Structure formats: structure tokens, C-alpha cells
């Protein structure tokens, strides 16, 4: 047997070198990672964070970075407030394209110069990895609106791209530390990217974040019937000589927006222009896009989000008015205040907290409870409003009809005109009656014989005191009482768990009168 002698000194030296080499490699990796996370800074005042992962790498794409779920984040170097966000989805027929193309970068940077954050995403390119005859956009869209719908594989490509776009929306929701405003998100896309954002905003039924506006650059929606009243306003640009996606798609979207009463939406068709006119749009139409977006974002002032639903200043004020007397009594009891003076809400304190701040907290909790219920209503198609402005429009239209009926000497039951609170309570209460029946039918609220017996014993202490009164005589009433109690407990539990995100600066400025 051959004997091997080990030089102990040499062994220590070798071990030292191995450790040193490992440290150097680690340092190199740390430096590389640091540089990868650092933002690029351009001379135009734009900061770019590149290749941020927003979702797991799709299976089967190998080294294809264009189909990976990464994004580039464009930010103004100087920013003092939360930024509205434009999510841009590039084109390429679901078979090509990249978020880093020069035309995309130029467009994104120009939007940033107007005070927006822009997120440009790569997404799974279905038709690149799953080539299918007859599924491309030209075959399906170049001749006009589809008589029998898109090819199933093209439908799948749109859904897959929309799924990834929603993952990017989730990333926005979870990364507001970049100064992003999740209540002011806009979708924009070109060609296949426009098809993706149109589907995401109007057909996907996504609830990750509310979409405030859509910019459609020569895209199309397979079926415009998806667009409902109250949908996000749409700005469309399309060339009348587009040989890939026919201009009829633009006219179809325009017609549908007008049918739903969406007065903010605009359609611009350019004579003699073809497909993918990015440079023309960036050079000549950016300011027009920015003006449209600012108008759409300013239509209703959103001060926060509850359960993914935008909260407006008007809603908060409604709840503040509802709890005004309650908070006033509380302050009087604590401090012995004799009367309501001009500066009462700003100066009166309860354990160091201003009366106005107490009132806002009450209103936020009340809104949270309402939005939890509203979400359950929307999920079951029991609530007709997609935003508060739509509710206020319904209030105005209802009052106009009632006033005209009175002028025509028709019988009107109830008030001639509803105030905001009364009309909301009327609509909401009727919807909740249907909701409770649904929850029992879906067995989310379960009602057993034992539940009813226990509830009846409880009610015998107050309501059903006579010895001859039995559960059989009052089954319906006892069931209603039990369901009401179970429903209240369910709502309270969900309200405690509800996700809320308020802009504290805007919240602190809301008073009873502004």
C-alpha cells in the first residue's frame, strides 16, 4: 500500500487559499448583485431599475429572457409624492418583442418626465413557445372583427399575458416603498400588448388593483360586450391602413364606450398610418396621452384602497356625517362641552386625540365594514356600481326622474328627492337582504336545528316569554335573528382582516365641509 504524507503546513496554506478564493467569489457576487439592484440614472432625470422579478420564471422557456416575468421600473429622480403608475405591455404578436426595445424605453422615459412611474413588463410569449397554425394576430384580426371569435390558442395567449400583467399589478401592490400609488394605476400597451391590457381591464374580472384608465395603441378586444357601464375610460390610437389589426377594432371600442356613457373616452384614427407607429406617438402624442390620463385620474379623488376598492373623499365624508353626532356626544361626555363651537372638531381633545381624528377613524372603520360587504355583493352580481361616481350619477338620475314625475302629477312614494345617505342606505339595505339569502344557500352561513334551539332559548329571556310559545311557532323569526347575528359576526371578522391602504396626507385633509 502506498503511503501518502500530508504536509500539514501546506495543507493549512491550501485551506487558507480555498477560503480566500471563496471570500473573493462571494464578494464578487455581492458586488454584482448590488450593481444589479442599483438604478441606472440618465441625464434626462429618469431613474431605471431593470430586470426586477415580479413572478416565477415560466417553465419551458430555457434562456429566453423575453418570456420571463421581469419588469423595468422607470421613476423620476426627484419625487415628493406618491406617483401614478403606467403599466406598459409591449407588442410582438405574443411571439416576440421585449420590454427593453429602444422605442419602448423612449416612450416610457417620456411619460416619466411628466410625473408618472412606468413599469414595462416582459411576459410569457405563448405563440413563441407553442407555435400553432392559424393562431397569429394577422390571421385573426387583419380582415376586421371576428365572426366566430379568435383561434383558441390566440385566446389562450391573451389570457396568459393578462395573467402575467395581473402578477405585475400584485407586485405594485406589494412594493409601494418605491413611491407608487396603487390607487392610480393605468394600463397601456401596443398591438398584442394592447390586446392584453384591454382584456385585463375589461374582461379578466381582476380584483388585484382598480384600473383607472387604459391607453390602447392599435390593439383590439375580441368581444367589446365585455365592457360594462362604469368601466375605466379608454384612449385609442389606430392607423386606418393597419394591415395587422384592422381599424374596425378601434371603431368597435369607440361605439361601445359611447353606448355605456363613458364620456371621457377618446378615439383617434390616423389617415394613411399603418401598424406599430410608436415613434409617431412618442414624438407627437405624448402630451395628449398625459392630458387624458391626468383628466381620468382627477375625475374622482381617491384617498385610499380597502379590499382592492378605491375610496373617495366623498365616501369618507358621507360616513363622517353619519357618525358626527355619535362622536360629538362622546366628546361632550368626556369634556363637558356645552355647545358646538366653530373650532370644535379641530381643537377638542379626548385623551390627547382631536375630535376630527376620532371622527375620521370611525368613518374609516365604517367604510371598511361597508367595502367588505360590497365586495361580497359584487362577487355575486348583487351590486350595480363599480365606483362611487357611478353611484352618485344614479342618485342624480333617480332624483331627476322623481322630480319630473311630480311635475307630471304622478304619485311618488317616499321623498321627492333622496339625499346621498338615504339613497345609499336604500340601495345597500335591499342588496344585503339578497346577500344574506345567498350566503345561507352557499352554506357560508350554516343554520342547524341546534343553532335555532339555542337562539330561541336566548330570545325566551326577552321576546318569547310566554310558556306556550315554542320554536315551532316562531321558526322563521328565530331563523332570521340567527342569520342576522351570524352575518354580523362574519362581516366583523372579515373587516378585521381587510387590507387597507390610505394616503395619510390626503386623509388628514378631509374635513366635514371640503
pLDDT of residue 29: 39
What percent of the chain is modeled with pLDDT above 70?
89
pLDDT score of 512 more than 90: no
Q: What is the pLDDT of residues 138-196, one digit of tens each?
A: 999 999 999 999 999 999 999 999 999 999 999 999 998 898 988 789 999 999 999 99
Question: Can you tell me the distance from the alpha carbon of 437 to that of 448, in angstroms, rounded to the nearest whole number?
Answer: 15
pLDDT score of 4 more than 90: no
Helices 286-298/102-112 angle, 10° precision: 50
41: pLDDT confidence band, cut at 50, 70 and 90?
low
Query: Which has more confidence, 219 or 396?
Result: 219
Q: In which element (H, E) is residue 329 found?
A: helix 313-335
Q: What is the pLDDT of residues 284-327, one digit of tens each?
A: 999 999 999 998 887 656 788 888 777 888 889 999 999 999 99
56-65, 386-395, 494-503: lowest mean pLDDT where? Answer: 386-395
Q: Domain spans of the chain?
A: 39-299, 307-507
200-220 burial: b if 16+ Cβ within 10 Å, else e: bbbbbebebbbbbbbbbbbbb
503: pLDDT confidence band, cut at 50, 70 and 90?
confident
Q: Which of 349, 91, 389, 80 is nearest to 217 (CA)?
A: 91
pLDDT score of 74 more than 70: yes
**Average model confidence (pLDDT) across the chain:** 87
pLDDT of residue 300: 57
pLDDT of residue 462: 84
Only one residue has cell 418605491, namely: 178
| Per-residue DSSP letter, 56 | P
pLDDT of residue 199: 98
Q: Assign a CATH topology to domain 39-299.
A: Rossmann fold (3.40.50)
Q: What is the pLDDT of residues 102-139, one digit of tens each?
A: 999 999 999 999 999 999 999 999 999 999 999 999 99
pLDDT of residue 102: 95
Mean pLDDT value of segment 226-247: 94
Q: What is the pLDDT of residues 453-485, one digit of tens each?
A: 999 988 888 887 776 778 888 899 999 999 999
Asked whether the beta carbons of 40 and 72 are under 8 A apart, the reply is: no
Only one residue has cell 363613458, namely: 262
Q: In which element (H, E) is residue 269 found?
A: strand 266-270
Asked whether the beta carbons of 137 and 93 are under 8 A apart, the reply is: yes
Asked whether the beta carbons of 464 and 474 are under 8 A apart, the reply is: yes
* Cross-strand bridge partners of residue 87: 119, 187
Q: How many CA atoms lie within 13 A of 144 on its CB side?
A: 2
Backbone angles phi, psi at 442, to 5 degrees: -85, 0
Amino acid at each position: 500500500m502506498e503511503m501518502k504524507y500530508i504536509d500539514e503546513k501546506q495543507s493549512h496554506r491550501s485551506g487558507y487559499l480555498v477560503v480566500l478564493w471563496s471570500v473573493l467569489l462571494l464578494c464578487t457576487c455581492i458586488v454584482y448583485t448590488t450593481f444589479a439592484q442599483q438604478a441606472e440614472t440618465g441625464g434626462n432625470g429618469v431613474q431605471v431599475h431593470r430586470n426586477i422579478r415580479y413572478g416565477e420564471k415560466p417553465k419551458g422557456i430555457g434562456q429566453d429572457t423575453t418570456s420571463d416575468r421581469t419588469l423595468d421600473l422607470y421613476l423620476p429622480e426627484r419625487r415628493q409624492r406618491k406617483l401614478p403608475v403606467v403599466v406598459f405591455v409591449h407588442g410582438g404578436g405574443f411571439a416576440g418583442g421585449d420590454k427593453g426595445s429602444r422605442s419602448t424605453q423612449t416612450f416610457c422615459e417620456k411619460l416619466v418626465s411628466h410625473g408618472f412611474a412606468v413599469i414595462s413588463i416582459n411576459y410569457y410569449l405563448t405563440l413563441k413557445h407553442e407555435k400553432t397554425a392559424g393562431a397569429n394576430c394577422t390571421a385573426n384580426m387583419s380582415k376586421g372583427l371576428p365572426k366566430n371569435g379568435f383561434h383558441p390558442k390566440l385566446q389562450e395567449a391573451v389570457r396568459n399575458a393578462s395573467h402575467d400583467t395581473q402578477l405585475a399589478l400584485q407586485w405594485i401592490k406589494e412594493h409601494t416603498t418605491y413611491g407608487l400609488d396603487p390607487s392610480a394605476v393605468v394600463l397601456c400597451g401596443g398591438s398584442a400588448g394592447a390586446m392584453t391590457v384591454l382584456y385585463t381591464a375589461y374582461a379578466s374580472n381582476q380584483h388585484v388593483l382598480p384600473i383607472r384608465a387604459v391607453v390602447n395603441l392599435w390593439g383590439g378586444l375580441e368581444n367589446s360586450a365585455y365592457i360594462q357601464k362604469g368601466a375605466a375610460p379608454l384612449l385609442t390610437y389606430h392607423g386606418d391602413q393597419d394591415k395587422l389589426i384592422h381599424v374596425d377594432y378601434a371603431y368597435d371600442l369607440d361605439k361601445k364606450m359611447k353606448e355605456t356613457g363613458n364620456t371621457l373616452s377618446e378615439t383617434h384614427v390616423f389617415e394613411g398610418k399603418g401598424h406599430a407607429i410608436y415613434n409617431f406617438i412618442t414624438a407627437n402624442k405624448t402630451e395628449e396621452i398625459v392630458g387624458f390620463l391626468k383628466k381620468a385620474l382627477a375625475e374622482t379623488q381617491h384617498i385610499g384602497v380597502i379590499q382592492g376598492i378605491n375610496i373617495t373623499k366623498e365616501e369618507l365624508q358621507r360616513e363622517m356625517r353619519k357618525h358626527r353626532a355619535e362622536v360629538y356626544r362622546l366628546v361632550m361626555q368626556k369634556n363637558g362641552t356645552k355647545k358646538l363651537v366653530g373650532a370644535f372638531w379641530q381643537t377638542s381633545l379626548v385623551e390627547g386625540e382631536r375630535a376630527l381624528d376620532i371622527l375620521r377613524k370611525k368613518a374609516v372603520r365604517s367604510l371598511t365594514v361597508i367595502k367588505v360587504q360590497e365586495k361580497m355583493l359584487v362577487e355575486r352580481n348583487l351590486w350595480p356600481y363599480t365606483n362611487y361616481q357611478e353611484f352618485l350619477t344614479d342618485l342624480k338620475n333617480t332624483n331627476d326622474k322623481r322630480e319630473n314625475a311630480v311635475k307630471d302629477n304622478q304619485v311618488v312614494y317616499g321623498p321627492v328627492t333622496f339625499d346621498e345617505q338615504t339613497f345609499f342606505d336604500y340601495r345597500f339595505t335591499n342588496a344585503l337582504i339578497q346577500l344574506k339569502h345567498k350566503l345561507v344557500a352557499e352554506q357560508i352561513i350554516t343554520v342547524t336545528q341546534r343553532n335555532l334551539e339555542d337562539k330561541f332559548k336566548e330570545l325566551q329571556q326577552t321576546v318569547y316569554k310566554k310558556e306556550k310559545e315554542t320554536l315551532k311557532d316562531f321558526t322563521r323569526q328565530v331563523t332570521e335573528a340567527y342569520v342576522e347575528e351570524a352575518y354580523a359576526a362574519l362581516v366583523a371578522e372579515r373587516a378585521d382582516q381587510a387590507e387597507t391602504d390610505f394616503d395619510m396626507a390626503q386623509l388628514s385633509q378631509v374635513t366635514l365641509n371640503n
